[in-house]
Structure 1
């Protein structure tokens, strides 16, 4: 295989592996970065990897399109596995925040996300922004870049595979959502106390329409509890990401 062809194939394989982690908006932590910056980062990391990363012996060439296509699909599967370490913590924290939205009654308010063209919950969006800030504040974006580059050592280009078993994935899914629920557990318990107080008041004064009185009270209580919870949330959010990175690295939680 000629040198130029080998470099081009290595670049294609590296780009296929890193695209989910660095460029796809729904998977990457750089979703709020302009698309041109993401593409430039992807090209830079792909070129760097093509030059220095180890490659599987007997790499398929352009004259073997089927084998090359299978190798590219394997690299994309590897990239999706790596992206789980970013997607699952964000999804877990967003799901837990949505529980707070429903419990407080703020779920009637939605925020339009122009980048994804979807309507998102208010508390869920706020918690996902906090998770993104914690991700960058802890330097996990630099760790992510080193991590995806280091993946070429245990899975050389052209030999990638789905690096997590279905059982390990299900176990990781459960542990991530439990940790995500722990982030907003104080808010959920506080709102439960408010609900109990409102229920007691409703039974004591059945002639009063307690619901319309309690609704703004619950929303205000949710914001106050959330503001207090955010003081301790960064440490828990860091644990969520650390657990996900460790689980993906070892193939299980």
Structure 2
């Protein structure tokens, strides 16, 4: 009987945790088997239930379905906010590839099954290694557990329709684009100077076929610049991590403000 009374609360916890894992970085990758994701969500839900809601019961009434929908939306929103800033490196890679001439050679990413720029995928892998090295995945799981303290489990008062939430998500998207531009600007700027130099050569020495010389030259210069600039990317990866932590805390406060 006690198990049946605890089942509704467990289902609500499982709805938030599973929807969060479905879209959050690292754990949402298609290369991770679905059985592992389901098992992880179930184990985390059991631990959260025993830790925070051991004596709390949720009635099975007309609002239970709405509570399930609310938990799914909360989990998806938190996972989206946790992952959006990590996509800045893929945006930066797309801009770099456009300048280097790699834009026509996109690959299918095994993580999400979509076309991804070559340089963007390389930067994204470096970023994920950095995040795993600083235990960002543990931070996300800990933040998801803390969300149950900020956003009540048995309450429908979640401010999805708040203008503050829409404004925050808009600013977060703009911040993602800004980080992407900052990542790509050193390489793109130097490659622009290479374009200017090639243009001057084409005007002064018309015998040189700039279409044959220009593309290999930009690729070589691009690789050399990436080797030089890569150490500085670690600083921006740290900034992305700190921004992701702040955004995660802010979205929980906005969702639980009502």
Q: Quote how far apart the aligned CAs of 1:152 are.
A: 0.7
Q: Quote how far apart the aligned CAs of 1:34 are.
A: 3.5
Match of 2:210 in 1: 210
Match of 1:21 in 2: 20
Alpha carbons of structure 1 residues 223 and 86: separation in structure 2 relative to 1, 3 Å: farther
Taking only aligned residues, the RMSD between alpha carbons, in angstroms, comes to 2.5
SS of equivalent residue, structure 2 residue 142: helix
Contact 2:105/2:117 (<8 A) preserved? yes
Match of 1:47 in 2: 46
TM-score, length-scaled by structure 1? 0.87
User: Which structure 1 segments of 5+ residues have no match?
Assistant: none
Contact 1:20/1:28 (<8 A) preserved? no
Match of 1:69 in 2: 65
Match of 2:140 in 1: 144
TM-score, length-scaled by structure 2? 0.85
SS of equivalent residue, structure 2 residue 112: coil
Contact 1:138/1:238 (<8 A) preserved? no
Cα distance in structure 1, aligned partners of 2:19 and 2:174: 23
Q: Quote how far apart the aligned CAs of 1:104 are.
A: 0.8
What does 1:24-173 align with in structure 2 at a 5 Å threshold? Answer: 24=22, 27-30=24-27, 31=29, 32-54=31-53, 59-61=58-60, 64=61, 66-159=62-155, 161=158, 165-173=165-173
Contact 1:93/1:177 (<8 A) preserved? no
Match of 2:249 in 1: 249
Q: C-alpha deviations, 1:10-63, integer Å up to 9, x for none?
A: 2211121112332x2x543222434333222211111111222249x88341xx
Alpha carbons of structure 1 residues 37 and 203: separation in structure 2 relative to 1, 3 Å: same
Q: Quote how far apart the aligned CAs of 1:201 are.
A: 1.4
Q: Quote how far apart the aligned CAs of 1:90 are.
A: 2.1
Match of 1:178 in 2: 178
Cα distance in structure 2, aligned partners of 1:94 and 1:115: 13
User: Which structure 2 segments of 5+ residues have no match?
Assistant: none
How many correspondences in the alignment? Answer: 247
Cα distance in structure 2, aligned partners of 1:218 and 1:145: 42
SS of equivalent residue, structure 1 residue 157: coil
Cα distance in structure 2, aligned partners of 1:88 and 1:162: 20
Cα distance in structure 2, aligned partners of 1:58 and 1:174: 41
Contact 1:184/1:226 (<8 A) preserved? no
Q: Quote how far apart the aligned CAs of 1:122 are.
A: 0.7
Cα distance in structure 1, aligned partners of 2:131 and 2:93: 17
